[in-house]
Structures are given as structure tokens and as C-alpha cells.
Amino acid sequence: MAGADQPAAPIGADAVSQDTATTDGTRRPLLRVRELTVRFGMRHGRRIAAVSDVSFDLAAGECLALVGESGCGKSVLASALLGLLPANARTDGSALLYGPGQGTGLDLLAADEATLARTVRGRRVGLVPQSPAAHLTPVRTVRSQLAETVRELTGARGRELAAVTRAAAERAAFPVDHLDRYPHQLSGGLAQRAATALALVGDAPLLLADEPTTGLDRDLVERTVDELRAHTDDGRGLLLITHDLAAAERVADRVAVMYAGRVVELADAGDFFGEPGPRHPYARGLLAALPERAFTPIPGMPPELDALPDGCAFAPRCTRASAECARLPAAEEGVACHHPVTGARPAVGRREGSEGSKV
Ligand SMILES: Nc1ncnc2c1ncn2[C@@H]1O[C@H](COP(=O)(O)OP(=O)(O)OP(=O)(O)O)[C@@H](O)[C@H]1O
Ligand code: NI
């Protein structure tokens, strides 16, 4: 327990000693993120605290869903892991990616651009980007972009290349008869599927999917997240960044909830979506806001990231807040809150006849 004068321990940090105590390497994660912090330097000395002290492990074969309101730092976190942040970003902490024969792991935050470009992006870490339209090359058809990626990552040539390219499109439910279209001829949902197809080609051990279901209708949401989940077979890992809590519930093993750049709760998906439910008041609010639950939005807005309070950033919106919240809460048992909710979720949190957030 952190005393009043001790700095708050970030969520997930307690796993450090536990995991390093294991000497046989059997419980070694695929990705180990520790105290990841990203600051953007702006004009006039303004500093944006986009990500603060984020720690988590992603195990082989696991899907971790990262959820939270718009602007809380989810995409910046993913960009940091891929070395895709702009020049005004400063990154601290570590993000160790483990692979066969890599005992100490590759620190993605410290790796040079040549290593990231040649051996990491697309090969060891795949990305379904949040803005697929911006990610696709505008002057080339989907087929030519997909074929190029297939050729580069699988070595297929000739007729095999054509067949593997079609199979790659089908895997992401991209219609084969649209392959000769240019990105601007695609709807948002089709561009999304093209980007997902591209990301899946390399069968990278770690896949980061940033809002991979935007613009898709419910059937396709389910098909897409199921395909992404299937990617974790054979020990691959999936970090699923999403606003769609129903999609997260469908495929995630664990859930990390971000608020104002920090992970405020890291929980088993079964506990989180079922009983006893989330324990951080913000996480409870997120679930209660769902139409299929209480349909009650959290009042207020998230804080500006260039003027964060010293204490809990959620306190101004929190019904459980007290004087203690002026101090940053230490993470205990996966929850960073001075007043976590304990026990079962109250009955008023669900509408009568509701089937939970499953759709
Ligand atoms: N290049 C940048 N320079 C300055 N600030 C940035 C930059 N990129 C992102 N930010 C800020 O960092 C914060 C986190 O942004 P991020 O895109 O990670 O949010 P998000 O959680 O992914 O939101 P959404 O759900 O809307 O995609 C935001 O306040 C954003 O304005
Ligand atoms: Ni985002």
C-alpha cells in the first residue's frame, strides 16, 4: 500500500516482481509495457500529457481490450508501440516485445527507426489503423496494395500471389469484386476492411487493432472481431482498442480502461462485463452508459490533457469523490481509485429484461 507521501504505483506494476520471479520463462508475456508515458511539446511551453504511467502485460494467445472515451490516449499508446509518434512527442518507460530466442525482449520505445521499419512494423507488430483512408495509398488500387504487402511478407509470386491476395481480402470480409477500386471509391466500412486485410497478411505475433470496427454494421463488427480474435490462435496477441464495449465483451480476455491518459482499471473480462462488474467508478459509468444497460451517460467531460490535476483526474465527475482524491490513487488489485466499488453491481444498473451488453 502506498502511503500519503509515496508516489502512486501504476496499474500493472505489481506484476513486475511476480513475473520476473519466474525463472523458467513459461509465464513470460508477449508484450510487457511499463510506465509508458507520452508527452507532446506544444507552442508556448504547453505540454499535453497524452499517456501517463501505463503498465500492462499481454500474454501469448490473449486479447486485451483497451477502452475509454475519445481523447484519452488510446491511439497515442498504439502509435508509441510502433514508433509512429510525431517529432514533438517525448516517450518514457519501456515496452518489451518478446519473441522466439529473444530472452530480454526488444524495447519498442528504444528501438531505432531502421529496426522498427525493417523487422517490427507489419512483421512482428501488425496495425489496423484508426484512419484507414489515410493509411491506404490513394493512387493505387486495393488489389495492388494488398498484393505488394503479400509479396513482401509471404514471398508469394505469380498465380500464388493472386490467390493469396484474394484470400487475404476474404479474410477481412473485403469483397473480392471491389479489389480493383481505389481508396476514394470505398465507403468507410470498406476502407476499414481493406486496412484490416492489410494488417492480417503478415500474421504478426502482436496485432494492434485501433477501432477496427468503425463504420461496420453489427454483423460485420462481429465477423471482424471474431477474425481478429482468431488471430490470437497459436500464441499470437491482440490489443483491441475500441469504443465498442459489446465487441470487447465478445472477444476480450481482459479489459484495460483508460481515463485522461492513465489506465484506471485492468480487469478480467468476465468479472468486468459480468459480476461483480467494474470497480472503478469511471469504468462503471462507461458500462452504465450503454443503451442495453442503464443508458445513463456520465455527466461532465474529461479534463484537458494540458491541465491535468495532481490527483485523480476523474474526481470532478465522480459521485464517490472526497478530499482524498486530491492525491493520485495507487493501483491496488488492478484499480486506481480511493473509493473503488466493491461487491455486486446494484440492480438499478441494469434495465429490466436487459440481456447485458451482448448484442
Ligand atoms: N501529434 C499530436 N500533438 C499533440 N497532441 C496530440 C497529438 N496526437 C494526439 N494528441 C492528443 O493526445 C490525446 C490523446 O489522443 P488519442 O488520439 O490517443 O485519443 P484516443 O483515445 O485514441 O481517442 P479516439 O477514441 O477519439 O480515437 C488527445 O488529447 C489528442 O489531442
Ligand atoms: Ni484513437
The proportion of the chain whose per-residue pLDDT surpasses 90, expressed as a percent, equals 79
Quote the ipTM score. Answer: 0.99
SS3 61: coil
Name the residue of 51, 72, 214, 304 whose CB sits within 8 Å of the most ligand 1 atoms, as the mutation to test its pocket. Answer: 72
CA distances from 97 to 4, 210, 262 (A): 34, 19, 21
Which residue's alpha carbon is nearest to atom 25 within ligand 1? Answer: 70
Atom index in ligand 1 nearest the CA of residue 305 equals 29
pLDDT confidence band for 151 (50 / 70 / 90): very high
Name the residue of 74, 192, 242 whose CB sits within 8 Å of the most ligand 1 atoms, as the mutation to test its pocket. Answer: 74
Phi, psi of 267 (to 5 degrees): -140, 160
- Comparing 62-66, 127-131, 163-167, which segment has the lowest mean pLDDT? 127-131
Which residue's alpha carbon is nearest to atom 9 within ligand 1? Answer: 76
Span from the CA of 7 to the centroid of ligand 1 (angstroms):
26
Average pLDDT over residues 17-40: 71
pLDDT confidence band for 207 (50 / 70 / 90): very high
The single-letter DSSP state of residue 121 is B
Span from the CA of 347 to the centroid of ligand 2 (angstroms):
33
Provide the CA 12 distance to its chain's centre, in angstroms.
Answer: 15
SS3 120: helix
Rounded to 10 degrees, what is the CA torsion of 251, 253, 257, 261? -100
Is residue 15 within 8 A of residue 33, CB to CB? The reply is no
- CB-based contacts of 294, cutoff 8 Å, min separation 6: 288, 348, 349, 350, 351
Atom index in ligand 1 nearest the CA of residue 86 equals 1
Q: Which residues pair with 126 in a beta bridge?
A: 207
SS3 69: coil
Whether residue 10 has pLDDT greater than 80: no
Name the average pLDDT for the chain. 89
pTM of the model: 0.89
